[in-house]
Amino acid sequence: MRVRLAIVFFFVCVTPGVGQTRSDIELKYGKPVSVYSVSEHIWMTPEYASDGQVCRMTLYPKHTSGNTNYVGAKLQFEELRDVLNSLVPLNNRGLKTKLNFGATATGDPAAWTTYPYEKVTFTFISSMSKTTESSLLRKGEFEFGIPATDYIAPREDPAPSADDFMRSESSRTEIVTIQWSNRKCPDQ
C-alpha cells in the first residue's frame, strides 16, 4: 500500500514539469514576444501600433545565442551604432529637434541619454549603480519635466549624421529604445 501511494505521489508531483506543452506554458506566462537577432551581440524586440507599423523597438545585449554565452550586460558601441543606423536610416529620422540633443538625465539607478529627431527618438539607458530588487528600473517609472517638443536646436547642425551617437561611445549603455513620434504603441 505504501509503495502504491509513493508511486502515485511521485507521478502527481513530477508530471507537470515533464509533460508541459506550449499551451500550458502560454496559459501560465502569456503569449511569446518576437525577439530578433539584429547583430552578433544584440537582440531587438519590436512593438506595433494598431495599424501594424512598428512604434517602438527595444535593443539589449545577448547573454546567450546558440552555443555561445556572452559575459557582461553592455552594448558594444560600434556594433550598436551600426545597428541603429541600419534600423532607422538617416533619411528616415527627420531633423534633430531639441536643444538638449544628446543630453543625459540621471536618477538612481539609471541615466537616460536622449537623441530626439522629428520622426523618432533614441534613448540610451545606462545603469549608475548596482541594481538591486529595491532599485529596479521600471518602464515609464521616471518622468522628466521637459516635454519632447519644447526646444529647437539652434546651436548645432539639425541634419542627422551617422556619428550622432558618438557621445555615448564611452557610456555603459545596457538598453536602447527607439520610439516613433507619429505612431502610438498600445501602452501609450
What distance, in Å, lies between the first and last C-alpha atoms of the chain? 60
Q: Which residue would you say has higher pLDDT here, 91 or 101?
A: 91
Taking alpha carbons only, the member of 73, 45, 46, 42 closest to residue 174 is 73
Res. 69: pLDDT tops 90: no
pLDDT at 1: 61
Spans of all domains in the chain: 1-32, 34-180
Q: Which residues contact 61 (CB under 8 A, 6 or more apart)?
A: 41, 42, 43, 70, 72, 73, 74, 75, 174
Distances (CA, A) of 69 to 36, 73, 126: 17, 12, 22
pLDDT digits (tens, 9 = 90+) for 17-50: 567 899 999 999 998 999 999 999 999 999 999 9
Q: How confident is the model at residue 81 (pLDDT cuts 50, 70, 90)?
A: very high
Q: What does pTM read for this prediction?
A: 0.74
